[in-house]
Amino acid sequence: MRLLLTSSGLANEKIKQFFIGQLDRLDNKTAGLVMAVRNEEEHSYVKNSRKELEDLGIKVTEIDVSKDDIYANYPEFDIYYICGGNTFFILDRMRATGMDRILIEAAKKNKFYLGVSAGSILAGPDIAVAGYGKDKDVNDIGLHSLGSFHFTPFLVFPHYNEEEKKDVIDFKKVRFQEPVIALTDEQALYITDSENILIGEKGGLQFCEGCKLKDLTIYR
């Protein structure tokens, strides 16, 4: 398993350089850009994400799960880049298209999972945290089952800043048994079967009592 969980993808230079350092080369790599966009603003973020990868020489295939398709017929990719957006909608569409099962199998095969915002939330046991914070997602599709990929035992709160400290504390009161990692836009968490690396400053781990991040390394 190779997970890079971020709030803002590769926009931060330190995170981008770390990502590059995990790959032997870039010019022979393929990426599936998984998205579920509902408006032009979300589509503009996807364009930026695609450019981030293509600027590195990676061949990109867009996979829009908001459309019905048979994604099992797609080839496997070296990298699965999971875009942001409304987390409830994205999870619902992943289930409807079977993309959730494809991503779980890809992680088992050690494919690179790069989560951005909602994509990072999806790596946890469920997506309830998406409904908290200043820019919280609205569950306007009435999704009842919030269970997600279970790649990590903790929940990720993306786009964290000090103004949202109370929101994370309020969430922790409801979900006091699960650890939470609050990631700023300048942080990322890299997780494999053998190591856990926090890229950036350590601040967001203040909510992470019991995270069980074995041998956590801080990459500054």
**Chain CA centroid to CA 99, Å:** 14
Confirm whether pTM is higher than 0.85: yes
β-pair partners for 112: 2, 79
What are the sequence ranges of the domains in the chain?
2-219
Give the orientation angle of helix 99-108 with respect to helix 87-97, to 10 degrees: 90
Give pLDDT tens digits for 72-119.
Answer: 778 899 999 999 999 999 999 999 999 999 999 999 999 999 999 999
Averaged pLDDT of the chain: 89
pLDDT-wise least confident of 6-15, 47-56, 106-115, 204-213: 204-213
pLDDT on residue 38? 83
Give residue 219's pLDDT band: very low, low, confident or very high (50, 70, 90).
Answer: very low
Between 53 and 174, the more confident residue is: 53
Distance CA(155)–CA(169), nearest Å, equals 13
pLDDT on residue 12? 93
DSSP state, residue 151: S
Structure tokens at 165: 């400290």
What three-state secondary structure class fits 32? strand
CATH class of 2-219: alpha beta
Give residue 145's pLDDT band: very low, low, confident or very high (50, 70, 90).
Answer: very high
* Residue pointed to by tokens 């969430």: 171
Give residue 179's pLDDT band: very low, low, confident or very high (50, 70, 90).
Answer: confident
